[in-house]
Amino acid sequence: MKKYLLILSLSAIGYMGYSQDKKLNIEALDASNPFATEFNTPKNTPPFDLIKEEHYMPAFISGMAQQATEINAIANSSQSPTFENTVVALDESGELLNRVSSVFYSMTGAMTNPNLQAIAADISPKMSEHSDNIYLNEQLFNRIKAVYDNMNGDNKLTVEDKRLIDKYYKAFVRSGIMLDETKKSRLREINKELGLLSLNFGKNLLAETNSFELVIENSKDLSGLPSDVIEVAAGAAKTKGYDGKWVFTLSKPSWVPFLQYADSRQLREVLYKAMYNRGNNGNEHDNNDIINKIVNLRLEKANMLGYKTHADFVLAETMAKTPENVSKLLNNLWEYALPQAKKEKEELQKMIDREGGHFKLESWDWWYYTEKLRKEKYNLDEEEIKPYFMIDNVRDGAFMVANKLYGLNFKELDNVPVYQKDVKAFEVTGGDGSYIGVLYLDYFPRAEKRNGAWMGSFRKQQVYKGKYINPIIYNVGNFALPTEDKPSLLTLEHVTTLFHEFGHALHGLLSDCKYNGLSGTSVSRDFVELPSQIYEHWALHPDVLKMYAKHYQTGEAIPDALIKKIQEASNFNKGFETTELVAAAILDMKWHTIQADQTLKASDFEDRSMNEIGLIPEIIVRYKSPYFAHIFDGGYSSGYYSYLWSEVLDADAFQAFEENGIFDPKTANLFREFVLSKGGSEDPMTLYKRFRGAEPNPIYMIKNRGFIK
């Protein structure tokens, strides 16, 4: 999921009370700036062929100033506050600011460079102040409060109207509107500093990721590696000027296959340690001090707003509600996962011993021996599978499922500018030919792109001043690069990742809400992963595999025997996978349930935290703190548990498809109506129960992970 979800922070920010020397230039943006008006392109997509770096800052400044005028008009209106003239007007304010923000922040994730990083550092405190100036504006809040206090007596308001009122009212309260002036001033300082700290965390992580290279000169050190992995490494070396050599990097498509297949234990250790020491090397890109400052500032802010911890503050507006409820879920899973992981460890150690190895299994050995054990137990080799998962075929598989479930069609557009040559854009239409939106796909790694995979929007669906706005959505990934001889071939993990992000895209594309602040993925963090995670269930379903998994050379459909192997091995290594995931969620909660300001070394804090829960040394937490971007450079602080919370929902939800047929029209229509189209327009559990008829049963999640039959 993309880290910049422009829900409230950019869709309803304003400006009040600047002193004269800080006043923004409110002159209209020069007409030559592409952001000055609605984009004049097919489907109103961003004109990437015209947008230059120098266009961003003037558009940001003008956007903030223009929205300030709109906000002033709302706050100082002589008319009595109503839903339309106050709450809807606030939700619709900032069109220019939203336009530039959505493009700029997508580029800082997918196509960054020192110039964009400098702009981000410059604009961050300005945007923070801009946001604070609306949420700490008492005149505006008093109008919001008047509408909020009277909403239950207004029978003209719909459920969605009331949800929007409630959301903005709580946004003001949670932003500190009730604080005295001294505390408000301190809160402004905290918000500015937190923005810059997160920005620097991500900048450091990208620098650390890009700075390491494992350069191999002797072909003997490539022993065990598949030919396509070697080809990609040779291509990377050539690009970097190392002709005749091979380069492996800290991009996941590079380091994961090396750990899976490289026979050299010494080099596996070097690469793995480089990966998990990112941001923790005591250099100019070290993130330890940043982590301490972020954690302490978040605690100070939470305390100031009346909460015991940052986790208490964050979770108050989620399905989980409290840290205790999160801990209950995580501890329950831990009791299943850790014993299974210990059994898996023993199996791997026995394999090492059988092969005459005189060493104890370490974390950099796990991937290598797991791959060997998978082949031994199930006669399943990822290299045998990958030829059936050419990236275009997998993408088309995701399209096919959406067509069978929701009648959607996808047509590649050749008249839409893109921001990088490998990016593709698709027009999305309904079964009746109606236009739904545009989807961009950006699938390959590059130095300018951060690691991981995410979804975002260049424009959210809404009804703006009476006009229906179609969404413009994007998916970004870091999948295997094609070589001169082979197209991009995906692992099973990457297949499910592609489907996962496509599920998020459907959430944005099929939104049918009135208001920007509630549309698409504007839902609680522990509900937003439901549409993405349920879509993973179709990725490797036997019936679906037959639709899209075709050999890239022969076009032959994947054989039944290979599908059977995939199914039989589906719960293999689940102890490891669940343990490292739950450990990361627990680590997130440990950082954010701290109750006193303190200075901690991340590695020491992690060691204590993981020792407390009994994590075995052969498995490391999925994200060590100095590169845990989800919680220190994203929106998942006190929220990494969300993937597991949502898994309870998605496992139960897919059970409905299993019971009725995986393409059952009635079930699909119910899911579209009550989950995909509703955004945050109603309480998430209410919506879920409308789809399923009851609250989710957690037993299906435990079964899916293979912990019980």
Mean pLDDT of the region 461-468: 96
Q: Terminal CA-to-CA distance of the chain, rounded, Å?
A: 31
Per-residue confidence band for 21, with pLDDT thresholds at 50, 70 and 90: very low
What amino acid positions are annotated as catalytic residues?
501
Residue range 101-140, pLDDT digits in tens = 999 999 999 999 999 999 999 999 999 999 999 999 999 9
Q: Which helix (H) or strand (E) segment is 101 a member of?
A: helix 95-110
Distance of alpha carbon 280 from the chain centroid: 23
The C-alpha atoms of residue 528 and residue 255 are separated, in whole angstroms, by 29
The C-alpha atoms of residue 188 and residue 370 are separated, in whole angstroms, by 50
Residue range 354-365, pLDDT digits in tens = 999 999 999 999
pLDDT of residue 484: 87
Among 311, 216, 197, 207, smallest CA distance to 254 is for 216
Residue range 566-603, pLDDT digits in tens = 999 999 999 999 999 999 999 999 999 999 998 999 99
Across the chain, what does the average pLDDT equal? 94
Mean pLDDT of the region 385-412: 98
Mean pLDDT of the region 11-32: 47
pTM over 0.85, yes/no = yes
Residue range 438-450, pLDDT digits in tens = 999 999 999 999 9
Q: Are 581 and 645 in contact (CB under 8 A)?
A: no
Other CB atoms closer than 10 Å to residue 27's CB: what's the count?
10
Residue range 417-435, pLDDT digits in tens = 999 999 999 999 999 999 9
Residues of 100-121 as b/e, b for ≥16 C-beta within 10 angstroms?
A: bbbbbbbbbbbbbeeebbebbe
Does 10 have pLDDT greater than 80? no
Of the chain, the percentage scoring pLDDT greater than 90 comes to: 93
pLDDT of residue 9: 33
Does 1 have pLDDT greater than 90? no
pLDDT of residue 159: 97
The C-alpha atoms of residue 589 and residue 303 are separated, in whole angstroms, by 16
Residue range 65-105, pLDDT digits in tens = 999 999 999 999 999 999 999 999 999 999 999 999 999 99
Residues of 665-690 as b/e, b for ≥16 C-beta within 10 angstroms?
A: eebbebbbebbbbbbbbbebeebbee
Sign of the dihedral through C-alpha 678, 502, 639, 124 = negative
For β-strands 246-248 and 214-216, DSSP reports them as antiparallel
Beta strands in 166-309 (DSSP E): 214-216, 246-248
The C-alpha atoms of residue 507 and residue 678 are separated, in whole angstroms, by 9
Residue range 30-64, pLDDT digits in tens = 999 999 999 999 999 999 999 999 999 999 999 99
pLDDT of residue 27: 56
Find all residues with CB under 8 Å of 241, minimum gap 6, and list them: none
Residue range 276-323, pLDDT digits in tens = 999 999 999 999 999 999 999 999 999 999 999 999 999 999 999 999
Domains (ranges, CATH) in the chain? 20-135+137-174 (1.10.1370.40), 212-276 (no CATH), 387-568+642-704 (1.10.1370.40)
pLDDT of residue 18: 28
- Class of residue 181 by CB neighbours under 10 A (exposed 0-12, middle 13-18, buried 19+): exposed
Q: Are 206 and 116 in contact (CB under 8 A)?
A: no
pLDDT of residue 6: 28
